[in-house]
Structure 1
Amino acid sequence: MEQATFTARYGPWALIAGASEGTGAAFARQLADKGMNLILVARRARPLEALADELRARVECVTASIDLAAVDAAEQLQGIAAGREVGLLILNAGADPNGAMFLDVEVASWDALVARNVVTVTRALHAFAAPMRARERGGLMVVGSGACYGGLPGIGVYAATKAFDLVLCEALWAELEPHGVDVLSFVLGRTDTPAHRELMAARGIAVPDGLADADEVARLGLARLPFGPVCNWGEADDVAGMSASSAAQRRERIRRISATFSTDAKG
């Protein structure tokens, strides 16, 4: 998509949650290259502000240090965005910092993960999608994980939250497509980010070869945003690898079900 077309469709402001490093920072740099103003959000203020300083020579850039597990996180996102037309929301935060079996940490740790990946995601999508629907343009992206396609020991709660995000995005894509709003669940595999390297180090695991490059990941996500509801990193649209169904098959299934509901409603 040409830069002017992209900005007209998703501008003038983009809000990126989880923007301080890795794929979040890559999204920010690529959107700045497209001339989009940025609202950058992360928990750690220092790397976030360093990124903003880098980008302010090209675009307007504001930052906010927000813990996305906080009860009022979505309200804080709305607060920092107040008075700015946010045409693109990228929810990129939500890694699992626990690295533990379900019963080996206090339940409060899982509560925080659910709050970050389910409650805040739901509330933020609801808040920012409404004005996009009214304007009949905009984009919503939730960065997910291949863990969404099945539970595994040690990441059960994380996988469950990512499954929630996937299904919600698919439903919102069907609901908002007629209103000109794009929705994408961007399902990643292992990506070379500082957070992933820290987690591997904490578990005493060597960093594997073949990790996805954060810049390439961000580039694909922005390119596939208009073609939701799902993009699986490393797979063609019609290839099923992470799950039993390809992204294309999931899309067509949702179209069929939506058409059935539409027919039932008319009847």
Structure 2
Amino acid sequence: MNESDLASYGPWAVVVGGSEGVGAEFAEQLAAAGLDLVLVARKEGPLEETAGRCRAHGRDVRVVSADLTVPADLDRVMQVTDPLDVGLVICNAGANSYGSDFVDGDLAEFMKVLTLNVTVPMALAHHYGARMKKRGSGGIVTIGSLSGYLGSSQHTVYGGSKAFVRIFSEGLWLELREAGVDVLHLVLGVTDTPAMRRAGLDFDLPGLVVGRPEEVAAEGLAHLGDGPVHVVSGNERGAAAGAAEDRARAVLGHHRLMSELMRRRVSHDA
């Protein structure tokens, strides 16, 4: 999809999780395509930095510092954007903010993971999707993960939440396509983002496919009209493993890879 095609989703786009990494790349590429932006994230400093780069393209850019796990903050994002003609929403906020073996972990913390990864995308899609349906055009992008295809130790809730959003997005695509609204669930693999670097992930693990934020965002925008699901290039094998007949073998294989990533991270941190 070229820049003129992307401009048709305007005039305004909301990028949730737009302060850094893939979200920031979405924002900059949309600004370059001629869309005005509302950027939403928790940290105001990184938000303003990204906003400055987007304004350099001559666009109107507004920032909203918000913790979307707090209902009042989520409502505030919607209220701030209600006067604007929003034609595109990128639901990039979502992370494994708490990792632990499930039965040994804190249930309240797991519930926060569900809120960020399930409740927030649902609420955003409901609010903006209704407006787009009325205007007869628009686009909604949800961000997925290979973790949503196979279960993984200490990622039980996160993986389950990503599986939910993938199936939810497919259903939403069916409901909105006749109204002229595109829905895309973009499935990421390991991606070299600031958050992953802060987590100490070792990107040099042999055979590991590592995505670059600018390439991931560009690929997502290029396939925006193709919905309902697009797996970022290089990760097709991982997604296909989710349909393996020998489910136990596939889950164990995925578990070994994730365990090695965690081991290498611990070694790197040490």
CA distance in 2, matches of 1:238, 1:37: 36
Cα pair distance change 1:179/1:242, threshold 3 Å: farther
For 1:32-76, what per-residue CA distance to the aligned partner results, in whole angstroms no more than 9, with x for missing partners? Answer: 110110100001111101111222132100001111211234312
Conserved 8 A contact 2:98-2:113:
no
| 1:72 matches 2:68 | no
Partner of 1:215: 214
Which amino acid letter does the alignment assign opposite residue 206 of structure 1?
Answer: D
Partner of 1:167: 167
Q: 1:206 aligns with which of 202, 206, 211?
A: 202
What SS is found at the alignment partner of 1:90?
strand
Which amino acid letter does the alignment assign opposite residue 60 of structure 2?
Answer: E
| 1:55 matches 2:51 | no
How many residues end up aligned between the 2 structures? 240
Cα pair distance change 1:81/1:111, threshold 3 Å: same
Partner of 2:99: 99
**What percent of counterpart residues are identical?**
38
Residue ranges of structure 1 left out of the alignment (5+ in a row): 246-267
1:139 Cα offset (Å):
0.1
With the length of structure 1 as denominator, give the TM-score of the two structures: 0.84
Which amino acid letter does the alignment assign opposite residue 183 of structure 1?
Answer: V
1:240 Cα offset (Å):
6.1
Matches within 5 A, 1:1-267: 1-8=1-8, 10-58=9-57, 59-199=59-199, 201=200, 206-209=202-205, 210-234=209-233, 241-244=240-243
Which amino acid letter does the alignment assign opposite residue 170 of structure 1?
Answer: E
For 1:167-212, what per-residue CA distance to the aligned partner results, in whole angstroms no more than 9, with x for missing partners? Answer: 110000001000100001101100000111222x2xxx53335411
Alpha-carbon RMSD: 2.0
CA distance in 2, matches of 1:146, 1:73: 29
CA distance in 2, matches of 1:190, 1:236: 9
Which amino acid letter does the alignment assign opposite residue 117 of structure 1?
Answer: N
Conserved 8 A contact 1:89-1:141:
yes
CA distance in 1, matches of 2:38, 2:161: 25
1:236 Cα offset (Å):
9.0
CA distance in 1, matches of 2:204, 2:14: 31
CA distance in 2, matches of 1:224, 1:120: 23
CA distance in 1, matches of 2:98, 2:18: 20
